[in-house]
Amino acid sequence: MNLPPVINSFPLLRFDQPWRLLRPALISDPETSISFDQELLAQVGRGDLGPCVCIKTEPQSLVVTRRESRMENFAQARASMAAESWPVVIRSSGGSCVPQGKGMLNLSIIHPRVKGWRLEDGYLLLCELLTRLLASYGIESGTGEVPGSFCDGRYNLQIGGKKLVGTAQRWAGGRRKQAAVLAHACLLVDLDLPEVTERINQLYRLCNNPLQFKPAACTTLRDILPPSQLSTEALVDSVTQRLAALVCEAFAISPI
């Protein structure tokens, strides 16, 4: 795309250590997979790892926040969902329940916390990167809340009023010198939206939570792109390759 690196727009993200791109293989255990980013955050906070970008998929699961884990009947609901092959995993970032699986692509940006960096900056950074990705497909996107969508937020990326990307953050270390930031985005590449939305709704009903979401409030990259015979795995791999190339360009990372 020959665009300037994003660090030109976000000069606070220039560090002594170079940025790295991580693309781990699928981790089959949902708990271990979700904790992978948390471990990266801890390593960056300790100074054992420099700033990095991680692109990966997760095994099938529902990922909830710590706040949601305190819902009524949560333990029983969790066991019930696991029995139906939808394990429920608790994450440390904000938002609300998100489905994971082979059709969801996850982008995480982890870096030391620097003076002057704001929560808003992390969201703007995610949105800039993924707006560039969508533009490479000829897709025009906007940001904003999408009523009825799961894990709704101000910094969704949306197409035609439907949510395509959700974002969240986790800051660790407080104001200590060794502090780090994790900014995370979930790109809906190829999901069965009625199925995954109903699974979230089911979990909420089991927890006596009145919130219910609408599958029509979201869309997927599969739905937006021209018709293709690619399998879910092949489509996600193709998008991953394109996103990885964009990340290398954006953060001046030398391709491996």
For residue 182, count CB atoms less than 10 angstroms from its CB and return exposed for 0-12, middle for 13-18, buried for 19 or more. buried
Give the pLDDT confidence score for residue 173 in this predicted structure: 84
Tell me whether residue 36 is in a domain.
Answer: yes
Tell me whether residue 222 is in a domain.
Answer: no
CATH code of residue 142: 3.30.930.10
Give the pLDDT confidence score for residue 3 in this predicted structure: 56
Confirm if 182 and 37 have CB atoms less than 8 A apart.
yes
Domain containing 104 equals: 6-205+228-235
Query: Residue 228 — very low, low, confident or very high, per pLDDT cuts 50/70/90?
Result: very high
Tell me whether residue 241 is in a domain.
Answer: no
**Residue 164: closest CA among 236, 207, 217:** 217
Distances (CA, A) of 152 to 118, 131, 245: 20, 18, 28
Give the pLDDT confidence score for residue 24 in this predicted structure: 96
Query: What is the token pair recorded at 35?
Result: 């904790």
The SS3 of residue 68 is helix
Give the pLDDT confidence score for residue 219 in this predicted structure: 98
What per-residue string of b and e applies to 143-166 under the rule 16 or more CB within 10 Å gives b? beebebbbbbbebbbbbeebbbbb
Q: What is the pLDDT of residues 82-104, one digit of tens each?
A: 999 999 999 988 889 999 999 99
Give the pLDDT confidence score for residue 140 in this predicted structure: 95
Look at the chain and report how many structural domains it folds into: 1
Tell me whether residue 213 is in a domain.
Answer: no
DSSP collapsed to 3 states, 194-243: HHHHHHHHHHHHHCCCCCCCCHHHECCHHHHCCCCCCCHHHHHHHHHHHH
Tell me whether residue 126 is in a domain.
Answer: yes
Q: What percent of the chain has pLDDT over 90?
A: 91
Radius of gyration of the chain (CA): 18
Give the chain's mean pLDDT. Answer: 94
User: Is the pLDDT assigned to residue 148 strictly greater than 60?
Assistant: yes
For residue 180, count CB atoms less than 10 angstroms from its CB and return exposed for 0-12, middle for 13-18, buried for 19 or more. buried
Confirm if 155 and 164 have CB atoms less than 8 A apart.
no
User: Is the pLDDT assigned to residue 198 strictly greater than 90?
Assistant: yes
State the virtual CA torsion across 162, 166, 74, 56 in degrees, nearest 10. Answer: 130
Tell me whether residue 46 is in a domain.
Answer: yes
Q: What is the pLDDT of residues 1-59, one digit of tens each?
A: 455 678 788 999 999 999 999 999 999 999 999 999 999 999 999 999 999 999 999 99
Which DSSP symbol is given to 65? Answer: E
Tell me whether residue 249 is in a domain.
Answer: no
Which DSSP symbol is given to 164? Answer: E
Long-range CB pairs of 205-212, under 8 A, 24+ apart, other chains included: 206/73, 206/76, 206/77, 206/80, 206/81, 207/68, 207/71, 207/72, 207/73, 207/74, 207/77, 208/71, 208/72, 208/73, 209/71, 209/72, 211/96
The model's pTM: 0.95
Tell me whether residue 103 is in a domain.
Answer: yes
